[in-house]
Chain A
């Protein structure tokens, strides 16, 4: 940890580092975890739990560089969508999936093999960026290429055209014009190099941005979060098939020009982030958060989070309109919290906590509760009153630890 710049009074830092926290019986907890894993190995894991937490940006928080934003996005989202479509078995969807995989690949930096294949096919490159050579060490982004051009331009004045006093040859005119252009380019670069941070950090940032898949130019912070949305949305194959083929939003273009040029349907599909209606898609991921990095939006647009009702803070699981396959952890936690007080009352006068396993039925009511110990029956009765919203699965079990009041 780096040395903090803001000093806290007295020994607050020391307290922070070794904050005393009353600890539960970790051994019992580890056994409870192992028991849960044996009972239902793994359980459901929503994609949202594996993504970066959605935290609102603080007022005045510096915007992240676009390269960092692009690199933090899930990079295989198009490909995952495609694989899901392939698994459905429908030929049309499989074809679309192949296109999606191709688009994903094309949105990445082309490798030597791809370059050779494109060259062999005799097709022009789809982007304005020159295709890299087969030697990986010679790969350059646009910025580096421009630098090389500037270097070439800088070298040009050292070889002035030979003077021909008697005859004005067309080549001479071209040479003079070329030299003038080269000098102008040098002058422009020289002026730009006088600006702060321009020559090194900006060029490096641009190069990093060019390296990232679907990267945008530095400082184009506006459309980048919007461009991130489609990449995060996991859609059902039905939606993929139904998406308009020509609707390519500006944001999608900004997020991945190569993907957009490689296949307009892909960008259009991806840009249309909508909840997946099919059960299979729901099982894979519940899509609630489209933008994993909303805090990177310009700070001016975000009000003070403490005062605002935290509009970007949404539950990562479940759906308000659909019956979810399984209840969210938050819903179960809330339901258990509501009856925890009466369950804790059962342990009055005792010192040991009790771990109870509550099984909810599909209608949201508790089917059974297992709790050991002399207060087990009392705890069972208390926890039976818990209730959650209905869900699709047959039953759902959750364990909770009841501690004495």
Chain B
């Protein structure tokens, strides 16, 4: 969480770092980079499905943000502003692709699923089922439209609030809520098609 990341460095807030960077403190911007690069990278990965491209976009995001520090008006949080640049760069990269491709071999999400993250005490069967579900989730997320996928990634994966996601995407919270609902509905349908039935779902629509 961005909030928790900030808690680790309570001495300087994002805004303070931005102010310092504006005044030429390169170290302050470096701190901002280190604070948010992981989340920016994860956001780009889910949008681009490619580790190499996500790394490029992550670098580009911070370089562009640094170049536009003077244009940060302070109406939003610095991290939502940075996320917005990242989303724009990711969408540009997606649109410049000639074909809409499925997950690439260097998709870090797939690589991440191959690593065993089984918690202590978890059964191998559960771990295997999780991996299968993860792969199905990746496929289902990738089938969503750019609009729904971007919103879902921001809210459900990245943990942004509807208000924060609205800041990033420039739309009202109600629209974000609608898109999240719609994306989850489609995800559920696609997971069901892949054999992940909602046996233990409670409170269905």
Q: Nearest A residue to B53 by beta-carbon distance?
A: A333
Q: Which stretch, A87-95, A100-108, A150-158, A323-331, touches the partner chain B?
A: A323-331
B8 at the interface (CB under 8 A from A): no
By the criterion CB–CB under 8 Å, are A306 and B145 in contact?
A: yes
Known A52-B84, A68-B172, A401-B55; judge A19-B157 contact (CB<8 A): yes
By the criterion CB–CB under 8 Å, are B96 and A6 in contact?
A: no
Tell me the interface secondary structure of chain B in the complex: helix
By the criterion CB–CB under 8 Å, are A24 and B55 in contact?
A: yes
- Could you tell me the distance between the alpha carbons of A55 and B169 in the complex, rounded to whole angstroms? 8
Smallest beta-carbon distance B118→chain A, Å:
11
Smallest beta-carbon distance A398→chain B, Å:
8
By the criterion CB–CB under 8 Å, are B134 and A19 in contact?
A: yes
Interface residues of A in 1-41 (CB under 8 A from B): 1-2, 4-13, 15-17, 19-24, 26, 29-30, 32-34, 36-38, 41
**One of B45, B59, B92, B106 near A317 (C-beta < 8 A):** B92
- A271-304 interface code vs B (CB 8 A; 1 in, 0 out): 0000000000000000000001101100000000
Interface residues of B in 92-114 (CB under 8 A from A): 92-93, 95-98, 106, 108-109, 111-113
A51 at the interface (CB under 8 A from B): yes
Known A1-B159, A30-B34; judge A9-B197 contact (CB<8 A): yes
B85 at the interface (CB under 8 A from A): yes
Q: A49-B85, A50-B81 provided; 19 other pairs, C-beta below 8 A?
A: A1-B160, A9-B188, A9-B197, A12-B133, A16-B137, A16-B157, A22-B51, A22-B115, A24-B51, A37-B66, A48-B88, A49-B88, A50-B84, A52-B171, A55-B146, A72-B171, A305-B147, A315-B92, A330-B93
- Enumerate chain B interface residues (CB-CB to A < 8 A): 26, 29-30, 33-34, 37-38, 41-42, 45-46, 51-53, 55-60, 62-64, 66-69, 71, 81, 84-85, 87-89, 91-93, 95-98, 106, 108-109, 111-113, 115, 117, 129-130, 133-134, 137, 145-148, 150, 155-157, 159-162, 168-172, 174-175, 177-182, 184-185, 187-188, 191-192, 196-205
